[in-house]
Amino acid sequence: MFGLKPRIRVVSSTRIDTDRLVLRCPAAADASQISSLLGNWNVAHWVVRVPFPFRPEHAAAWIARSAEERAVGAGWPFLITLRDGHALMGSMDLSLEGDRSSGALGYWLGEDYWGQGYATEAAVAMIGFAFDILKLKEVTANALPDNLRSIRVLEKAGLRHVGRQVEDTVERGRVDTELFALKRSTWQGP
Ligand SMILES: CC(C)(COP(=O)(O)OP(=O)(O)OC[C@H]1O[C@@H](n2cnc3c(N)ncnc32)[C@H](O)[C@@H]1OP(=O)(O)O)[C@@H](O)C(=O)NCCC(=O)NCCS
């Protein structure tokens, strides 16, 4: 129903537009909405590195860290918002790894916004940003083995399953995760 290849316009390193979305930089004023969306266990328990309950002060700390990561080029955190009405729905982050030739995707959406193709649209846009603008060689992502929604998003965005990794989580200790990856050399474009 929803196009898998949304038109993407990278307006700047702080804003990416797609058919239905604007990915933009987090700002201090977003803390309360972020904590309200991610303060839902149905969302938070799939996201390995968030504490629960996720309070406004956690959101404020994430926003401050986001600005620091951007300043040194270590990560590219965006908020996912609707083009129409600007509702803040979730986040899409690309965290650079190792020698900075690859980046790991992390994302979540408020539960009310699931099932409309928004995460796939945002992931496709972020992968375009990673390969076309940042010139990364590879984009990776980890998902908990039973997170079938997220795994489907990764497959629709072109990532393929490449193995398993153990990850440290805030709320569940050490867990196995499924590792997905897409190389620029095999990327088909947005
Ligand atoms: C994962 C998440 C971002 C997906 O967002 P979304 O906007 O609903 O995703 P999309 O609509 O783009 O795609 C979801 C896909 O999963 C499918 N799906 C939904 N429920 C499913 C289920 N129980 N089992 C398998 N597939 C499922 C949908 O049908 C859709 O695939 P399709 O287009 O082929 O029909 C959202 O559910 C979320 O925020 N979850 C909690 C946080 C999280 O898991 N973050 C990722 C951590 S790795």
Residue nearest to atom 10 of ligand 1 (CA): 117
Contacts of 3 (CB under 8 A, 6+ apart): 19, 121
Q: Which CATH superfamily is domain 9-137 in?
A: Gcn5-related N-acetyltransferase (GNAT) (3.40.630.30)
Q: Strand pairing partners for 46?
A: none
Which residue's CA is minimally distant from atom 26 of ligand 1?
A: 149
Q: What six digits make up the tokens of 56? A: 């406004």
Distance 72 CA to ligand 1 centre (A): 31
Closest ligand 1 atom number to CA of residue 142: 48
Sheet of strand 102-109, all strands in order from the earlier edge strand to the far edge: 9-12, 15-17, 21-24, 75-82, 88-97, 102-109, 138-143, 173-183, 160-169
What was the pLDDT predicted at 4? Answer: 45
119 Cβ closer than 6 Å to some ligand 1 atom: yes
| Domain ranges for the chain | 9-137
Q: Calculate the CA 71 to chain-centre distance.
A: 18
Predicted confidence at residue 5, as pLDDT, reads 58
Element (H, E) at 56: helix 56-72
Q: Whose CA is nearest to atom 11 of ligand 1?
A: 117
| pLDDT tens for each residue of the chain, 190 residues long | 344 456 778 777 899 999 999 999 999 999 999 999 999 999 999 998 889 999 999 999 999 999 999 999 999 999 999 999 999 999 999 999 878 999 999 999 999 999 999 999 999 999 999 999 999 999 999 999 999 999 999 999 999 999 999 998 887 789 999 999 999 999 988 7
- Please report the pLDDT score of residue 6 as a whole number: 60
Predicted local confidence at residue 12, as pLDDT: 79
Phi, psi of 161 (to 5 degrees): -70, 130
Q: What are phi and psi of 86, to 5 degrees?
A: 65, 20
